[in-house]
Amino acid sequence: MKNNNTFIGIIVLITIVLVTIATFSLGCAEPPVIPENESVPMEENNSEYIYGDATVESIQILTLESFPVQIRVVASGYLPDGCTSIDEKTVSYDEETKSFTVHITTRRPADKMCTEALVPFEETIALDVYGLEKGSYTVDVNGINEEFELQVDNIPQE
């Protein structure tokens, strides 16, 4: 009787071990789901990437003490996983509205398994303010807005 109980115990233990191994080997880790409205798969150099917009939480405008004045924007935010990186930073200026628009995009390999942890980033972007008149200007970085003011015309006197 004792041998029978030992045999049943060993069978139960083996069953538990096999179920545990099967659970972990059948793909408990799924690739992260990236919403379609945030990214577009594209082909580049025979490998597929997913492009999207960086999530910016805050911006800070720095005025460098020089003449002509120089303006830098420090954008802070996060990337959705460990494989995503900053792809491009583009800056445009609208003279009518006196506003700068900065667009920060991201890139990640489409078929790569990545850590599912947010990764903070901080990017510094120079704004071309040479030749601008004194006044208030708006900066929009991926939907986050701030203003700065030029106290004087940013044109060197000759």
Short-list 4, 85, 95, CA closest to 50: 85
Tens of pLDDT along 5-39?
A: 787 878 877 888 777 776 666 554 455 554 444 44
Residue 96's pLDDT is: 96
Which pTM was predicted?
0.69
Residue 125's pLDDT is: 97
Tens of pLDDT along 41-95?
A: 444 444 689 999 999 999 999 999 888 899 999 999 999 999 999 999 999 999 9
Is 39 in a helix, a strand, or coil? strand
Q: Is 151 in contact with 134 (CB distance < 8 Å)?
A: yes
Greater confidence (156 vs 132) lies with 132
DSSP string, 64-106: ESSSS-EEEEEEEEEESSTT-EEEEEEEEEETTTTEEEEEEEE
Give the contacts of 3 (CB within 8 A, at least 6 positions apart): none
Confidence of residue 150 (pLDDT cuts 50, 70, 90): very high
